[in-house]
Structure 1
Amino acid sequence: MSEPAATATENRACFELRGASQTLTVMELHHFDPDALERDLRDKIRQAPNFFRDLPLVIGLDHYEGNVADLDFFQLIGICRTHSIQVLGVRGGDDDIRRLARNAALAWLPGGQASAPRPVPEPEQDTAESTEESAPETTSTGAGRLVTQPVRSGQQVYAPEGDLIIMAPVGAGAEVLAAGHIHIYGPLRGRALAGVHGDTSASIFCQSLEAELVSVAGHYKISEDLQGDDWRTPARIRLEGDVLTVDPLTR
């Protein structure tokens, strides 16, 4: 290396800090029971095993109802690591939570508006605000499920048997799951997991592919993998062998 080039390399900073946006999975913890956590986590992983492999995870405490003294982040981290899930940090909670997170070498993120308790909607109440907070209405269609309202951030819709049909958008931060196919007559901006019981013939159909994650029978792709020619166009996501493929849909 010539002397001028070596000098330029030595004078250049070895790193730079940049702002970035990254979609992360949040485990909203309601209470801490190690045995229940292990059992429920195992059930979730059984639905989509490849999705959880090396998954970066944030523990959300915005809706935590248990005692702070019961929280054992070391034990929680250990349970997650046995399933190849990497806990990065904790979101929400008070100064005691922040101290516990720091002692466990976890990052602490402030909670959002969701940390305030949400009022239980009155049965007769009919306002725009309560409509946004409530879960989307669903109708049973034989073994499947039909949703006629938008699925908003933080909401989850699950069809444990058959197909899931959604006649509205699926927002960022929302999650929809089905044992069979998923049909979305609108943009898919959240997460869609089809064939969660292992049905490799399942597909995901949407009018605009803008997803954070799609999965069929445990094979998944995240947003960065999807942003090709079919991004923001009508698409079908399916398995071809062991490869998750995206096919364009003609309007």
Structure 2
Amino acid sequence: MSTGTINSQKTALEFKSTSLTVPVLLLSGNDLPAIDEQLKEKVAQAPEFFRNSPLLIDLQKLNAQNLVLDFADIVATVRSHGFMPVGIRGGNEQQNQVALAMNLPVHSLHGSNTPLISKEPAKQPLPTPEPPPSTPAASNVENKLITQPVRSGQRVYAKGDLIVTATVSAGAEIMAEGNIHVYGSLRGRALAGVLGNAESRIFCSDLQAELISIAGTYQLRDDLSQHAPHKPVQISLANQKLIIKEL
């Protein structure tokens, strides 16, 4: 009697498209010591936010001014401050070749951004892709409920609204395409409207965040120190400025 074999091995992997937020370092000058010093100052403002953060290096402004900067040098500089470069954007042919030789991918100029690290004012709105038209029953809207604490190092993403009934620890990051509700203390980073929805809001019971952002406009911890903790607040965006009101 002949016997056959049945391949019961399960698929070990799959590729899926997704929306990820990556900080962008937009260089507008080639003074490496100045870049090094400003990176140091930026990291000091929110060390937990920038520690081991992925970083996309954007050279389009630099090259538009015909300024020369060795790409390997800038990679070494950002790594010295704890960043993890994940690619280059807006580079010329020589810079792109150097990036590929360093196993860093070359990205298109088209795509979404999270907060820029640049010489420009930190609270300016960030370029975002055109948001899709909203419909009452959009099938891709997925609200998410988190009932456990979001611990340091964890990242949570919601395609709709994100509701957290526990604490968001320092070093944690929560992101939503819609609104964010935090019923515990918010000590980490909260980014609402990450695809450009300026109508998104952040609600929390206790604002002690490292960073808050709506549609790319953000504030760091130092900007939030004037707001008393342990009080519920609502954060909205108006005239390219974050408005924080007690509830």
Q: Could you state the TM-score of these two structures normalised by the residue count of structure 1? A: 0.49
Give the distance between the partners of 2:170 and 2:239, measured in 1 at CA. Answer: 29
Alignment of 1:177-188 (within 5 A): 177-188=175-186
Paired with 1:241 and 1:163, the residues of 2 have a C-alpha distance of 23
Partner of 2:46: 23
Q: Give distance in 2, aligned partners of 1:203 and 1:212.
A: 17
Find the aligned partners of 1:53 and 1:227 in 2 and give their Cα distance. 21
SS class of match (1:157):
strand
CA-CA distance at 1:168 after TM superposition: 0.6
State the identity %. Answer: 42
The corresponding residue for 1:58 is none
Query: 1:35 and 2:105 equivalent?
Result: yes
Task: Give distance in 1, aligned partners of 2:85 and 2:241.
Answer: 36
Show the counterpart of 1:235. 233
Distance 1:172 1:223, change over 3 A: same
1:151 maps to a residue whose letter is V
Using CA pairs under 8 Å that are at least 6 residues apart, name the structure with larger relative contact order, 1 or 2.
2
CA-CA distance at 1:22 after TM superposition: 4.4
Q: How does 1:64-213 map to 2 (within 5 A)?
A: 143-159=142-158, 161-213=159-211
Answer yes or no: is the 8 Å Cα contact 2:45–2:221 preserved in 1.
no
1:42 and 1:207 map into 2 onto residues whose CA distance is: 37
Match of 2:68 in 1: none
| Residue 117 (structure 2) pairs with residue 53 (structure 1) | yes
| 1:241 shift after superposition | 2.0
In the aligned structure 1, how far is the partner of 2:110 from the partner of 2:205?
Answer: 33
> Quick one: which amino acid aligns to residue 23 of structure 1?
A
1:105 corresponds to: none
Unaligned 5+ residue runs, structure 2? 1-43, 55-83, 87-101, 120-139
Aligned in 2, Cα 1:156/1:42: closer, same or farther, shift over 3 Å?
farther
| Residue 34 of structure 1: how far off its partner (Å) | 1.1
- Does the Cα contact within 8 Å between 1:230 and 1:246 map onto a contact in 2? no
Judged with a 3 Å threshold, the aligned counterparts in structure 2 of structure 1 residues 227 and 47 are, in CA distance, closer, same or farther, namely same
Tell me how far apart the structure 2 counterparts of residues 173 and 52 of structure 1 sit (CA, whole Å).
Answer: 19
Query: Residue type matched to 1:187 in 2?
Result: S
In the alignment, the residues of structure 2 paired with residue 203 and residue 219 of structure 1 have an alpha-carbon distance, to the nearest angstrom, of: 12
Query: What 5-or-longer segments of structure 1 have no aligned partner?
Result: 1-20, 56-140
Residues 126-165 of structure 1 deviation map (CA, whole Å, 9 limit, x = unaligned): xxxxxxxxxxxxxxx9621111110000100001x21001
CA distance in 2, matches of 1:170, 1:244: 20
Deviations along 1:66-92, one digit per CA (max 9) or x if unpaired, are xxxxxxxxxxxxxxxxxxxxxxxxxxx
More helix, by proportion: 1
Cα distance, 1:53 vs structure 2: 3.0
Aligned counterparts of 2:45 and 2:218: Cα–Cα separation in 1: 17
**For residues 204 and 42 of structure 1, what CA distance do their matches in structure 2 show?**
27
Deviation string 1:207-240 (CA, Å, 9 cap, x unpaired) is 1000000000000000000111343421111101
Alpha-carbon distance change, 42 to 155 in structure 1, aligned in 2, over 3 angstroms: farther
Distance 1:30 1:154 in 2: 18
